[in-house]
Amino acid sequence: MRMKIAAAVGLAALAAGCASNEGEAGTSITLAGAEACSADQIGSLDGETKWVEAAEGLPAYCEVTATLHPAEGSDIGVVYRLPESWNGKILGIGGGGWAGNVTLMAASEGLKKGYATLQTDGGNAGTDVWNNGWIAENPEAAKDFSYRAIHELTVAGKQLVEAVYGQKQDRAYFQGCSTGGRMALMEAQRFPDDYDAISAGAPVYSLQVQTSAVLRNNTFARNNGGFSAEDLQLANNAALAACDSADGVEDGIINDPRQCSWDPAELQCDGAKTDSCLAPAQVTALKTIYEGIRTPEDEWAMFPMSKGGETGWSLFVGTEGTGEDATGGGGLKNLEPLLFGGRSVDFATLSAEKDVPELRSSDFARMYEATDPDLSAFFANGGKLILWHGENDPGPSPVGANDYARAVLNTAEGASDNMRYFLLPGVEHCAGGPGADMIEWLDTLDDWASGGEAPERVIGTKRDGSLTRPHCAWPNVAEYKGEGEANDPANWQCVARKS
């Protein structure tokens, strides 16, 4: 049964310890210090509270750590951090890989800005993002991680917030990247009433991400088509030489990789392999990686990867040609018992014709994948969605996010007004790469949800201040105007994308 947190936390005392301005919407509420987090009992809620003093740039806050049990066999760890000075809003936070995220680091931005933060372990306390064997061992934990944990976290968190501060939140936001992006889309699809605005970054929203990982590894392993770091740099240099300047500036970034017509055959050796050319098997592997692989149903079995991002591929892909990568094929191999009806599969020869369609029609896939483009109910509630993806992402491909964005725009009533999609040139998985990867997504979401205009561009920077670029909302792309400092966003314009 779902927890009744308002009663379970026994927080009438907490509510009494609050100072507020008549509970007016949009006003700040301040907790009356540590006594507002000193409940001796937390009733049927399986957890504890503690007061954390302000330190290292973070405000003082009440931390509630608990375990939710919505079903037998379900143990959803949650952490709520309620700042001393509350801005009236709550922020749900997603996880990564095959894990949730209850770390203070993930909550720090929200806490500093006055949000009450909501986090969960996703139904499994382990923090190894690639160790997902537990998914096949516990059906309830699989259900939690797939869709239930974030919803239960949110329902319980709203009740707790109201009990502590004495009023409901003004607005509820959710943000996540990677698995957190999938969780974000799942909330909009299955639970459209949970959040008022959602930011979903680089979403691992279907098992196509995992099948892509395995098929990429196999592509590089086939016929000795593996790459050294120097080979990847060679391909990267050639792609940039051909396509970097298309946006008007040579900066090591291809703004629209799908318009880059560079052919890796230009690097093929005439004879023996040398440092300045690629063997035929390597050229074939590159072409396959750039083009992707489709199933007989014309769905992606392996998403394409972007030209211009080659030097970052090895983080997620077995580029050296062993057939293995650091992610274990995105964790797909541990899911075998759930995907193929009990038959054994040789992942080294995973078939796009048979294996991939079968696994994506499994019960687990139907539970786990957040592929439904009909967000009409979410948008009808006034919900706002920011979807974003790095062009150089070597994990989930931006092509997958492109497909989902198009599907939402073509399917969901209200999408053109209530969704914005941003592609980030040169940015890898959630961050990193040569692109301008530091973006104030939470502030952008809040401004929009608070009545501001829908964002048509956002400004990205590098942490070291070396790069500043505007990122344009789909279907536009940034283009340099031809004069002025390239790091001044005023010298760029958003133009129609060709792809």
Task: Give the model's pLDDT for residue 12.
Answer: 36
- Flag residues of the chain having pLDDT under 50: 1-25, 40-44
From residue 287, give the alpha-carbon distance in Å to each of 225, 282, 346.
11, 9, 24
| Per-residue model confidence (pLDDT) at position 375 | 98
Residue 253 has which token pair?
A: 């970034």
Which H, E and C letters describe 416-474, residue by residue? HHHEEEEEECCCCCCCCCCCCCECCHHHHHHHHHCCCCCCCEEEEECCCCCCEEEEEEC
Alpha-carbon torsion angle 404, 406, 407, 410, nearest 10: 160
- Burial level of 217, CB count in 10 A (0-12/13-18/19+)? buried
Q: What is the pLDDT of residue 468?
A: 98
5-207+373-457+469-477 folds as Rossmann fold (3.40.50)
Q: What is residue 136's predicted lDDT score, i.e. its pLDDT?
A: 93
Q: By the 8 A CB rule, do 114 and 91 touch?
A: no
Q: Which residue has the tokens 């009023």?
A: 167
Residue 434 has φ and ψ, to the nearest 5°, of -75, -10
| CB 375, CB 192: distance < 8 Å | yes
DSSP 26: T
What contacts 315, CB < 8 A, 6 or more positions away? 326, 394, 395, 428, 429
Cα 225 from Cα 444, distance rounded (Å)? 43
Which pLDDT score, from 0 to 100, does residue 31 have?
A: 82
pLDDT of 6 = 37
For residue 156, give every residue at least 6 positions away whose Cβ sits within 8 Å of its Cβ, in sequence order, or none.
Answer: 2, 3, 5, 66, 68, 78
Q: What is the secondary structure of 224-244 as a DSSP string?
A: G----HHHHHHHHHHHHHHHG
Q: What is the pLDDT of residue 43?
A: 39
Q: Report the candidate in 1, 145, 16, 12 with the shortest Cα–Cα distance to residue 68.
A: 1
**CA gap 438, 457 in Å, rounded:** 14
How crowded is residue 169: how many other Cβ atoms within 10 Å of its Cβ? 21
Ranges of each domain in the chain:
5-207+373-457+469-477, 208-367
Beta-carbon count within 10 A of 325 CB: 23
**C-alpha closest to that of 185 among 440, 383, 441, 322:** 383
Whether residue 463 contacts residue 483, with contact meaning beta carbons closer than 8 Å, is answered with no
Cβ atoms within 10 Å of 94's Cβ, excluding its own: 29
Enter the DSSP assignment of 144: I
- Please enumerate in sequence order all residues whose Cβ is within 8 A of that of 464, keeping only pairs 6 or more positions apart, or say none: none
Per-residue pLDDT, 45: 57
Using alpha carbons, list the distances in angstroms from residue 315 to 328, 384, 393, 402, 490.
Answer: 12, 32, 10, 22, 34
Neighbour-count burial for 49-73, b at 16+ CB within 10 Å, e otherwise? bebbeeeeebbbbbbbbbebbbbee
CA dist 354 and 369 (Å) reads 19
Exposure b/e, 143-159, CB count within 10 A at least 16 = b: bbbbbbbbbbbbbbbbb
